[in-house]
Amino acid sequence: MKYIVKKGDTLYKIANRFGLTVNGILALNPQLEKDDYLYSGQIINLADSNLMEYSAQLGDTIYAIAEKFDLRIDHLLKANPDISNPDRITIGQTIYIPKSISSEIVQTNQEYSYEDLTTSIEALKTKYPFIHTEIIGSSVMGKPIYALRLGRGEKEVFYSGNWHANEYLTGQLLMKFVEDYAKAYSQNRTLRGYDINYLYHHTSIWIVPMVNPDGTELVIEGILPSHPYYQTVLDLNYGSKNFKGWTANIRGVDLNHQWPADWEEENERSPQVPSPRKYGGTQPLTEPETIAVYEFTRKHHFRMVLAFHSQGQVIYWGFKGMEPPESKKIVNRFAVLTGYLTERTAYSGAGFKDWFIQEYRKPGFTIEVGIGTNPLPVTQFSQIYRENLTLLLEAPLL
């Protein structure tokens, strides 16, 4: 079958949607390479052996069909791009049903984009209305930055991810945790042996899964001339349209080098102009994304913060001796739970956890998940989730 690429599509997402493999798609499209970006309107060939055909019945709508086959609306619509009005399905119309789509809300065998995040949040709120969400600010390009809260207890902790554009697996990790926690609470069962009902009533886990939505979109989708930062981004990337190594926000500022904690010292050894990596800005806290997290943190009384990055399988836990004594005990426990190494001080400063430790003298941790080159392959997700799930559950109790 012929498939018309939609905005946000990647080879992994299309393969997941239709029950195919990336290699199978590439075999039918020799003009494509595995790391190529796909663009809206592009037509590619797909094998149709994994699609089931359904003949629409009297009274069917796309919503009723999705419910019948336990599918998400967006997945069903993307499998049927010719449907312009979901409320108008004619009797006998052929609807393609993708067989392999998981009923899980957060998909973990594909890249995790800002569109995936917003779709996941809406679906999770509908299914689990006890999840609290709020918008804490906006990105350079105006994308809302979301915070989610699990629980209603007084003990507050804060998890954040996807600070760097090509580390989107960390946001995916946190959102999968949100889904599994919510499912366990709604079913009144434990998760990894932890009493979720107790966690819910005694702790509040705040999560900002995607600090850097603009940069993440750039890494996953690439860029077109219509993009308002097209020429700027190309110039910063030395003319290359491959953005897999991009970590900064859309203006070329590294959001984890933006914090007033040895910023001047870090600035001396970092790029002095906007760059795909490591440029800390003209001064601390210039970017709307970092300002949003700064103001959000100041509003709360977090006992601990965990900032998730990739890669290295290591946990950084100190900053210039300002960390409290309990940080050492906590990081040793984290090491047992994850199997990760621990390092007191990272080679660079001006990070979020550095500022948090300096400002509050409370435990702060940078957790580098996975191993390899960013963006980490989606095939690592399951292992990374297994390594970190218990940590995510236990941290609020420490």
Whether pLDDT at 297 is above 70: yes
Would you say 158 and 304 are in contact if contact means Cβ atoms under 8 Å apart? yes
pTM over 0.95: no
Q: Which amino acid is at 165?
A: A
- What pLDDT sits at residue 28? 93
Q: Return the H-helix or E-strand segment holding 232.
A: helix 230-236
- What pLDDT sits at residue 218? 98
pLDDT digits (tens, 9 = 90+) for 355-377: 999 999 999 999 999 999 999 99
- What pLDDT sits at residue 100? 57
Would you say 357 and 319 are in contact if contact means Cβ atoms under 8 Å apart? yes
- What pLDDT sits at residue 300? 98
- 302-311 mean pLDDT: 99
- What pLDDT sits at residue 364? 99
User: Are both 121 and 168 inside the same structural domain?
Assistant: yes
Task: Show the domain range for 154.
Answer: 114-214+287-397
User: Are both 180 and 316 inside the same structural domain?
Assistant: yes
Work out the pLDDT band at 79, boundaries 50, 70, 90. Answer: confident
Whether pLDDT at 49 is above 60: no
Q: Name all contacts of 112-115 with Cβ < 8 Å and 24+ positions apart.
A: 112/168, 112/169, 112/171, 112/172, 112/175, 113/8, 113/168, 113/216, 113/217, 113/220, 113/221, 114/143, 114/210, 114/213, 114/216, 114/217, 115/7, 115/8
Angle at 137 between CA 253 and CA 174, to 5 degrees: 80
User: Are both 94 and 143 inside the same structural domain?
Assistant: no
Is residue 156 among the annotated active site residues? no
- What pLDDT sits at residue 127? 94
Assess if residue 292 is contained within a domain.
yes
CA distance 346 to 360: 19
Last-in-domain residue among 98, 123, 147: 98
- What pLDDT sits at residue 18? 80
Whether pLDDT at 67 is above 90: no
Give me the number of domains the chain comprises: 2
The residue among 189 and 101 whose pLDDT is bigger is 189
Three-state SS for 160?
strand
- Marked catalytic residue, from 67, 368, 387, 394: 368
- 264-290 mean pLDDT: 97
Assess if residue 24 is contained within a domain.
yes
User: Residue 328 burial (CB < 10 Å; 0-12/13-18/19+)?
Assistant: middle
User: Are both 119 and 203 inside the same structural domain?
Assistant: yes
User: Are both 188 and 49 inside the same structural domain?
Assistant: no
Assess if residue 269 is contained within a domain.
no
- What pLDDT sits at residue 102? 66
Mean pLDDT of the chain: 95
- What pLDDT sits at residue 160? 99
User: Are both 30 and 135 inside the same structural domain?
Assistant: no
Work out the pLDDT band at 101, boundaries 50, 70, 90. Answer: low
Whether pLDDT at 332 is above 80: yes
- What pLDDT sits at residue 17? 80
Assess if residue 108 is contained within a domain.
no
pLDDT digits (tens, 9 = 90+) for 222-273: 999 999 999 999 999 999 999 999 999 999 999 999 999 999 999 999 999 9
Assess if residue 257 is contained within a domain.
no
- What pLDDT sits at residue 186? 97
Q: What is the CATH number of the domain that holds 126?
A: 3.40.630.10
- What pLDDT sits at residue 52? 82
113, 183, 173: which is closest to 338 by C-alpha? 173
Q: What is the CATH number of the domain that holds 66?
A: 3.10.350.10
Whether pLDDT at 380 is above 90: yes
Last-in-domain residue among 98, 133, 150: 98
233, 308, 224, 195: which is closest to 37 by C-alpha? 224
User: Are both 195 and 136 inside the same structural domain?
Assistant: yes
User: Are both 189 and 291 inside the same structural domain?
Assistant: yes
- What pLDDT sits at residue 1? 80
User: Are both 87 and 171 inside the same structural domain?
Assistant: no
User: Are both 300 and 374 inside the same structural domain?
Assistant: yes
- What pLDDT sits at residue 107? 93
